[in-house]
Amino acid sequence: MLSTLPTAHAPRIARVAAPPTFAARSGAQQLRATLLASPRTIAPKWLYDARGCVLYEAITELPEYHLPRVERAILGRHQPEMLRLLPHGAELIDIGSGDGLKARRWLDAGIVCRYIGVDIAEDWLSEALRRGQARYPQVQFDGVVTDLNWGLQLPLAREGNRPRIFWYPGSSIGNFEPVAATALLAQMRALMQPGDALVLAVDGPVEPARMVRAYDDAAGVTAAFNLNVLNVVNRELGADFDPAGFRHRAVFNADASRIEMHLVATRAQSVDLGAGRTLSLTAGEHIVTEHSYKHSAERALRLLRDAGFNGVQRFDIEGEAYGVYVAGIDHAKP
């Protein structure tokens, strides 16, 4: 069926502008404010500059970072059943698409006519679209550059009223606080029509030591990924963080069921944050850079239900808490 389609045009990239509530403060102002607030935080989106993207790709290959391996095993085992649930001839919306490689599973299955990558990292997205378009010339590759914290917007209209598959792998949903995760899923649902589907991967809690190792590997790749964010902040704010004055820490917060990545000051220090602001840190004080919520099956199903999905199917493999959920909608509104 795909071979009858005309050859696709060059990838188009649409850029979403910050909505008024966010535009009032620039990204730099927001970043400075969260560093000076309590607790001190750097939003995880800042982790993905060019070096961060390369380091993230290396993380996915680490023996300790079991998430991609378990996800692959689940999809490998259950893909035939999933393909029966998913629309064919679809537009695949790859949320937080990164290198886009995980989407190849659906492209190779021949169910995708158009791929739309959605990511904040424009250079990474452009490269992924270029590579994808060269590999799958019969599929249309397009992209949307946006910050998902602004709410999900898709400025690229459906072509030919094709069904859409929202593909959100990697348990990236766990990087959002539960209320924001529900809101993001609800936005996806609001953009869906009957016949569309969501495929969502969600990591669950396993033995704490295993989870901590996954975010604090022996080779120090995750540490380098985390510390690199200070270089991003230096560029964005004209700040003078010295990464050598910090160490990476991953901890499991059992009450919240999340892994927290911290940057811990190894000595007392004053950091110039630009715009006349200074951050004073005592030795041992930390900055939070990422939360990765680990949602049990029950909690993940609740997130989906609260976002208005029903008829959800969960796919997993024995002995692992990771789940891949396929959800459709019957009605346009919850």
Ligand X SMILES: C[S@@+](CC[C@H](N)C(=O)[O-])C[C@H]1O[C@@H](n2cnc3c(N)ncnc32)[C@H](O)[C@@H]1O
**DSSP per residue, 171-229:** TGGGGS-HHHHHHHHHHHHHT--TT-EEEEEE-----HHHHHHHTS-TT-HHHHHHHHH
Instruction: Give the position of tokens 């659906």.
Output: 106
Select 148 or 281, whichever has its Cβ closest to ligand X: 148
Q: How far from the centroid of its chain's Cα atoms is residue 82's Cα?
A: 21
Q: Which is nearer to ligand X, 45 or 295 (CB)?
A: 45
Q: Nearest approach, Cβ of 95 to ligand X (angstroms)?
A: 8
Question: In the set 133, 140, 172, 289, which binds ligand X (CB under 6 A)?
Answer: 172
Nearest residue by C-beta to ligand X?
Answer: 170
**Helix/strand/coil for 249:** strand
Cβ of residue 147: shortest distance to ligand X, in angstroms?
5
SS3 144: strand
Query: Which CB atom, from 129 or from 265, has the smaller least distance to ligand X?
Result: 129
Q: How far apart are CA 328 and CA 196, in angstroms?
A: 6
By the rule CB under 6 A, 174 interacts with ligand X: no
According to CB under 6 A, which one of 40, 66, 78, 102 is a site residue for ligand X?
A: 102
| Spatial separation of the C-alpha atoms in residues 97 and 277, rounded to whole Å | 35
CB of 53 to ligand X, least distance (A): 7
> What's the rounded Cα separation, in Å, for the pair 111 and 98?
21
User: Taking CB under 6 A as the criterion, which residues in 215-274 touch ligand X?
Assistant: none
3-class secondary structure, 31: helix
Q: How far apart are the first and last CA of the chain?
A: 33
Please pick, from the candidates 48, 136, 241, 325, the single residue that binds ligand X as defined by CB under 6 A: 48
Q: Which is nearer to ligand X, 2 or 145 (CB)?
A: 145
Q: Which stretch binds ligand X (CB under 6 A): 79-87, 113-121, 246-254, 295-303?
A: 113-121
Question: Pick from 75, 82, 129, 148: which binds ligand X (CB under 6 A)?
Answer: 148
Give the residue carrying structure tokens 């220090």: 269
Question: With contact defined as beta carbons under 8 Å apart, do 246 and 227 qualify?
Answer: yes
**Beta strand extents in 96-174 (DSSP E only):** 112-119, 140-145, 164-168
Residues 16-45 that bind ligand X (CB under 6 A): 44-45
Q: Which of 64, 147, 236, 272 binds ligand X (CB under 6 A)?
A: 147
Size of the site for ligand X (CB under 6 A): 18
CA-to-CA distance for 10 and 202, rounded, in angstroms?
Answer: 33
Quick check: 97 binds ligand X (CB under 6 A)? Answer: yes
Minimum distance between the CB of residue 273 and ligand X, rounded to whole angstroms?
Answer: 21
Nearer to ligand X, 170 or 205 (CB): 170
Q: Which two tokens stand for residue 208?
A: 């704490």
Residue from the set 49, 91, 119, 216 that interacts with ligand X by CB under 6 A:
119
By DSSP bridging, strand 278-281 and strand 269-272 are antiparallel
- CB nearer ligand X, residue 44 or residue 132: 44
Q: Residue 64 interacts with ligand X (CB under 6 A)?
A: no
Binding site for ligand X (CB under 6 A): 44-45, 48, 56, 60, 96-98, 102, 119-121, 147-149, 169-170, 172
